[in-house]
Amino acid sequence: MDLAIRDIRQHLGRFVATVVGIGLLFAIVLSMNGIYQGFVFEGLSLINITNPDLWVVERNRGGPINEQSLFPEFFHYSVSAIPGVEKASPFIIYPVERHIAGQSRRFTIIGYDVFTGMGGPKNLVAGRPITQAHYEAVAHQKLGLDLGQNFRLGLHTYTVVGLTKEGTSPDGEPLLYLSLPDAQEVIWLPDNEEVRNQRLRFYQSLVRSGFFSPQEAEKYLSRSAIDTHKVNAVLVRLAPGAQAREVAQRIKDYLYLSVFTTPEQIDIMFKGRLDRPRMQLFLFRTLLLIVCVVIIAMVIFTLTLEKIRSIAVMKLIGAPNRVIVRLIMEQSLLLTACSYLIGWIIIHNTYQGWPRLVLLTPGDDLTTLGLALAGGIIASLLGIWKALKTPPALALGEQ
């Protein structure tokens, strides 16, 4: 006879209410799992999609994703000349917030050499890659642009020629792929007013120095042109048979730049930008799980106290301890499993509506279920201890 089920049947309303309450907590635990996985996935997605053999960045910087890195574009010619390098391609990654199609949107601009293809979008869901040097864009679907749509960005109008849904910036923002010169212009070219101001400042400083007449200063104004020929990284594809470590060392020695392989970039992200938020999320979901276990323990303990006289009667009529232990533990496990199921149903039906990626994995779901059931067993211990301590004489009103 299954005593646990029969007891639950008697208190079905309360059991269901408790299951829904704890189920909501489990939904949060599972969502935290998904947020954690989504956070890591998004944090690494650009690295994984780009996936060059080597990332060449500014000296002593862990860039270009974990930290800012900036150096002149021409370095990619020098990198190309290093033995063992088959191809070196300039690369820009830059988060911005701009007005697009009448709305202010946060996104990350990826600028790449559209003719070598390195650093560009991998799998398009619609359209084609960028094939012209200017005024074409490939947009992430989350940006809300349609294929063929024209939009104004900076000084020019761009056309969406392709759509992708692969990858986001480490902050979860959608990507906008542009050709390298377009990206450089959008990011680093100041507007006309700022250019005029800079030229005026340069002119005045020349004249005030006393070494130049106003006419001579006018001639030098062209030297103050804004330099947009900067990149955040150079992506390297190795020649067949070349050793990444050796090539990286040559680049470090000769070009005074830092070099990382893709696994090293991932490691840098894990230890850097992702580390603390990751720990925070881990701690938060651990605490939530503990809260669930404590609540289940309290509920089970209360349920045990309510039937303590019945337990005494069972002992009096000769029920062995295992029957009583099973009654309490089974209730605890049922409460845990049903609550988990409610939480699972809630999160699996809502995660797509969350503002950032919630990545639910069967592995995480199973691990959480395992931990929850282990927690359910632990939660029942207090009730079991109380039940086993109950003297059978309690059934007769004796203590």
Partner 1 sequence: MAVVLEVEDLHKTYGSGRLAVEALKGIDLKVNAGDLVALLGPSGSGKTTLLLCISLILEPSGGKIQLDGEILWDHGWCEMDIRQVRLTKVGFIFQARNLIPFLTALENVLLPLDLLGLERNEAHRRAMELLKYMEIDERAHYLPALMSGGEQQRVAIARALATSPKLVLADEPTGALDSVRGMKVMEMLKKIARENQTAVICVTHDERMIEGFDYIYRLKDGQIMLDT
Burial of 142 (0-12, 13-18, 19+ CB in 10 A): middle
- Cβ distance to partner 1 smaller for residue 126 or 319: 319
As a whole number of angstroms, the distance between CA 282 and CA 136 comes to 41
Label residues 274-292 b or e (16+ Cβ within 10 Å = b). Answer: beeebeebeeebeebbeeb
Residue 282 Cβ, how far from partner 1 at the closest point, in Å?
Answer: 41
- Cβ distance to partner 1 smaller for residue 236 or 327: 327
Residue 390 Cβ, how far from partner 1 at the closest point, in Å?
Answer: 12
- Cβ distance to partner 1 smaller for residue 200 or 388: 388
Q: Which residues bind partner 1 (CB under 8 A)?
A: 1, 3, 6-7, 9-11, 307, 309-310, 313-320, 323, 391-393, 395-398
Count CB atoms within 10 A of the CB of residue 120: 24
Q: Tokens at residue 376, please?
A: 């359910």
Q: Is the peptide bond before 64 cis (omega within 30 degrees of 0)?
A: yes
Residue 1 Cβ, how far from partner 1 at the closest point, in Å?
Answer: 5
Residue 366 Cβ, how far from partner 1 at the closest point, in Å?
Answer: 33
Residue 394 Cβ, how far from partner 1 at the closest point, in Å?
Answer: 10
- Cβ distance to partner 1 smaller for residue 7 or 173: 7
- Cβ distance to partner 1 smaller for residue 169 or 390: 390
Residue 392 Cβ, how far from partner 1 at the closest point, in Å?
Answer: 5
- Residue for token pair 């020695």: 253
Residues 6+ apart with CB under 8 A from 298: none
Count CB atoms within 10 A of the CB of residue 219: 11
Assign 153 to helix, strand or coil.
strand
Residue 317 Cβ, how far from partner 1 at the closest point, in Å?
Answer: 5
As a whole number of angstroms, the distance between CA 19 and CA 303 comes to 14
- Cβ distance to partner 1 smaller for residue 6 or 196: 6
- Cβ distance to partner 1 smaller for residue 8 or 57: 8
Residue 159 in contact with residue 128, Cβ under 8 Å? no
As a whole number of angstroms, the distance between CA 187 and CA 276 comes to 29
Residue 314 Cβ, how far from partner 1 at the closest point, in Å?
Answer: 7
* Closest C-alpha among 169, 142, 199 to residue 50: 169
- Cβ distance to partner 1 smaller for residue 110 or 299: 299
Q: Write the CA distances from 60 to 51, 196, 371, integer angstroms.
A: 21, 35, 42
